[in-house]
Amino acid sequence: MADLVTIDDPDDPRLHDYTGLTDVELRRRREPAEGLFIAEGEKVIRRAGEAGYAMRSMLLSAKWVDTMRDIIDEAPAPVYVVDPALAERVTGYHVHRGALASMARKPLPTAAALLTRARRVVVMESVNDHTNIGAIFRSAAALGMDAVLLSPDCADPLYRRSVKVSMGAVFSVPYARLDVWPAGLSTVREAGFTLLALTPDERAESLDAVAPHRMDRAALMLGAEGSGLSRRALEASDTWVRIPMSHGVDSLNVGAAAAVAFYAVTAGRPTAP
């Protein structure tokens, strides 16, 4: 069982991992630099552990000790018990999910290493909204995508909000960053993947006509909400694909579009007519 340590000084250095959690800009810089991320709530903490992330510490208020007993028992790191008011003062918000854990990041694999064991890959360009990243990972996991590649300016999948929205799927779908963009896409093509750029452009082929589920290796490229894929990314792709639209609607939200495209490249297999 982990050490239960009661802390009543908000400036205690052992709480450093948890300071200023509502300051997105600060945390976005600090967490990768310090090699940590924050998992929030019982389910997410458990999934992070199962996925092999090492716990640095856990923070919770006294009333949650009983509820979280089995996680505490298994925690391989110190567990800090604090007053809810102190937790709020340190983190900047009311921690209503019971517990926070500071987890150690693992080194990311290279894109090339990921691609050797994948056949269905998501490639995101400039998706810098943590909610969208999380939602896309959740759908990618559910619909059987094997890996995710991120352009250098995509948001951090391990940011607290991304982890939460993904329901922990950021732990189960392996991902890597492409260091140069869009030149790094050549790595994907050289690994035998067809680069499919998802775009509402009318010149694109309809997803169901392209039938990407029959491709041996397919990499589906997604751009950010609103702007979509850049011209340079579109030019670096092999085929433009679009989701057929009705009712004069010009686009789906990026989460819905991603889910439809993942289904089309994975589960939407043809059956006899």
Query: What residues make contact with a copy of itself under the rule CB under 8 A?
Result: 135, 138-139, 141-144, 167, 169, 172-173, 206-209, 211, 214, 243-249, 251-253, 255-260, 263-264, 266-271, 273
Contact residues for 261 (Cβ-Cβ < 8 A; gap 6+): 198, 207, 220, 222, 241, 243
Residue closer to a copy of itself (CB basis): 96 or 231: 96
Cβ 238 to a copy of itself, closest distance in Å?
19
Rounded to whole angstroms, how far apart are CA atoms 245 and 255?
16
Smallest separation (angstroms) from a copy of itself to the CB of 141: 4
CB 121 to a copy of itself: min, Å:
14
Q: Which two tokens stand for residue 219?
A: 């990499």
Beta carbon nearer to a copy of itself, 120 or 160? 120
Residue 138 CB, shortest distance to a copy of itself, in Å, is 7
Give every strand in the sheet of 239-242, ordered side by side. 175-177, 147-150, 120-124, 218-222, 194-198, 239-242, 205-206
Q: Tell me whether residue 136 or residue 219 sits nearer to a copy of itself (CB atom).
A: 136
CB of 45 vs a copy of itself, minimal distance in Å: 17
In what order do the strands lie in the sheet containing 36-40?
4-6, 79-82, 55-61, 99-104, 36-40
Measured from the CB atom, is 50 or 73 closer to a copy of itself? 50
The full length of the chain comes to 273
**Smallest distance, a copy of itself to C-beta of residue 59, A:** 27
DSSP 228: B
**DSSP SS3 for 104:** strand
* Separation of alpha carbons 88 and 80, rounded Å: 14
Triad 208, 224, 115: Cα angle to 5° = 65
Closest CA to 74 of 61, 102, 55, 60: 55
Closest CB 165 distance from a copy of itself, rounded Å: 8
Residue closer to a copy of itself, measured from CB, 214 or 232:
214
| Residue closer to a copy of itself, measured from CB, 79 or 163 | 163
Q: Which strand (E) or helix (H) includes residue 69?
A: helix 69-74
Q: At 57, which amino acid appears?
A: S
Closer Cβ to a copy of itself, 6 or 206, answer by number = 206
- Distant-in-sequence, close-in-space partners of 221: CB < 8 Å, separation ≥ 6: 123, 124, 125, 195, 196, 197, 198, 229, 233, 237
**CB-nearer residue toward a copy of itself: 88 or 208:** 208
Shortest CB 30 distance to a copy of itself, Å: 29
